[in-house]
Amino acid sequence: MPMLPRPTVFIETYGCQMNVSDSELMLGKLAAAGYDAVDAPDGADVILLNTCAIRDHAEQRVIGRLGELKRHMKPDSVMGVTGCMAQRLGPRLLESAKHVSLVIGPDGYRSLPSLLDGARQGQRVSATTFDLEEHYEDFTPRRFDKVKAWIPVQRGCDYKCTYCIVPTTRGSERSRKLSDVVRETAQVVSEGMTEVVLLGQTVNSYFDGTHDFADLLRAVGTVPGIRRLRYTSPHPNDFSDRVIAAMAETPTVCEHVHLPMQSGSTRTLKRMRRRYTREGFMECVARLRAAIPSIVLTTDIIVGFPGETDEDFEETLSACREIGFMDAFTFKFSAREGTPATRMPESETVSDAVSGERLQRLVDTVRARTRDMNLGLLGTRHEILIEKPARRGDLLQGRTRDFRTILVGGDTSLIGTYMTVEITGTTGHTFTGAPVAARAALPMAG
């Protein structure tokens, strides 16, 4: 009896690192169920889109892509939609896209193989039940990256900011056991990786019933073989003195924090229900810098939130000038169905033109500050971890501990290794660097 070929699965991931990590978990689960992952949709037995619902634009992209992918399907291929958009829309997606057979929310991946078996016999299913115990501990993620590992430590979020769909699509917050996170960290070290990134919606509110985020940083940061420990995304309110002390006292914790500010106006922050004020955010920044003077900050900012006045926006600009973020992810407010912000009075809507103008001024302000800071780094030396080939040219992309991107010459055999470089140039955003011979025992910057 000739052996049937193993079924193939193609997965396309949208959105945040948590989704990348979920795709790795799904591929691991399917590999254990006999599937082979392929890098293109053509002729794949299963095509999965792991989706994001954070902004309307993200969902429109998926709807367009679902249409495009139809022509890559074989007659018996199965198309599935997973992730936050699947959780938000559920059966509505089956109605609107007849070639989609599976709609699975972020807590439903344990039954993926059996649901796929049903779909391959013609069933069409939507599975969006939350499971607050689920952390997929027994899954073996099939990692896309061979240099650093995404390690989820928490799922869901309890903050409920008025513009955010995440609590709706990922449920309430729950944390993995510290011992499971440490076990996974040791596993990735045994696979040759030296950098891990701990993932959570508000990762520094981590609590497994016994251990908090400070305990987690100290435990993961001292796993033999780990050289760099990062985490994303924290919430400003959860930087306790214990957490900041653990960051400062654990040498592997990198000197970079992505600290979402969202707005520099206390009035707007209140309406966003961010649960801190401008002063509270500034105080958090000051405490981080007092404990780790070389720390580098990046952030997320929304402009055009309902009711945002010119004065509110000026406060966002002034906060950026005062803090000096190395970089900022900046967005126009996007109303998400089902979030409290959509129930704010129509009269408070900020027009797309005004939002667009504010977005441009914000980008210019952050870029100008970043450029000034980066020009000041010419000639300084940094240890970089070579991550991958650069997008342009035949250079390699390396990352400093404080999250700066430095492009260097060299062949791909250097990927995954560390190198000391001297910064030779900057575009204002990324840098070029030249390797420094080991003999040069000059002081390192940052």
- Interacting positions 99-128 with ligand SF4 (CB under 6 A): none
* Cβ 161 to ligand SF4 shortest distance, Å: 3
H or E element in which residue 17 lies: helix 17-32
Please, are residues 255 and 226 in contact by the beta-carbon 8 Å criterion? no
Per DSSP, the residues of 312-362 read: HHHHHHHHHHHHT-SEEEEEE----TTSGGGGS-GGGPPPHHHHHHHHHHH
* Cβ 305 to ligand SF4 shortest distance, Å: 12
- Asked whether position 160 contacts ligand SF4 by CB under 6 A, the answer is yes
Measuring CA to CA, how many Å separate 426 from each of 135, 211, 308, 324? Answer: 42, 42, 35, 17
- Asked whether position 280 contacts ligand SF4 by CB under 6 A, the answer is no
Please, are residues 108 and 29 in contact by the beta-carbon 8 Å criterion? no
Rounded Cα distance, 105 and 338, in Å:
17
- Asked whether position 162 contacts ligand SF4 by CB under 6 A, the answer is no
Residues 90, 113, 167, 324: which binds ligand SF4 (CB under 6 A)?
Answer: 167
- Asked whether position 161 contacts ligand SF4 by CB under 6 A, the answer is yes
Residues 157, 196, 214, 261: which binds ligand SF4 (CB under 6 A)?
Answer: 157
* Cβ 156 to ligand SF4 shortest distance, Å: 9
Total of residues contacting ligand SF4 (CB under 6 A)? 10
Burial letters 77-97, b for 16+ CB under 10 A, else e: bbbbbbbbbbbbbbeebbeeb
Contact mark string toward ligand SF4, 182..201, x via CB under 6 A = -------------------x
* Cβ 235 to ligand SF4 shortest distance, Å: 5
Is the peptide bond preceding residue 334 cis, with omega within 30 degrees of 0? no
Q: 173: which 2 tokens?
A: 């917050």
Q: 364: which 2 tokens?
A: 């210019």
CB-based burial label for 204 (10 Å; 0-12, 13-18, 19+):
buried
Segment near ligand SF4 (CB under 6 A), from 76-84, 155-163, 180-188, 309-317?
155-163
13/262 with CB nearer ligand SF4: 262
161/384 with CB nearer ligand SF4: 161
Measuring CA to CA, how many Å separate 299 from each of 231, 263, 397? Answer: 14, 10, 22
Contact mark string toward ligand SF4, 199..238, x via CB under 6 A = --xx--------------------------------x---
- Asked whether position 166 contacts ligand SF4 by CB under 6 A, the answer is yes
- Asked whether position 326 contacts ligand SF4 by CB under 6 A, the answer is no
Chain residues binding ligand SF4 by CB under 6 A are 157, 159-161, 164, 166-167, 201-202, 235
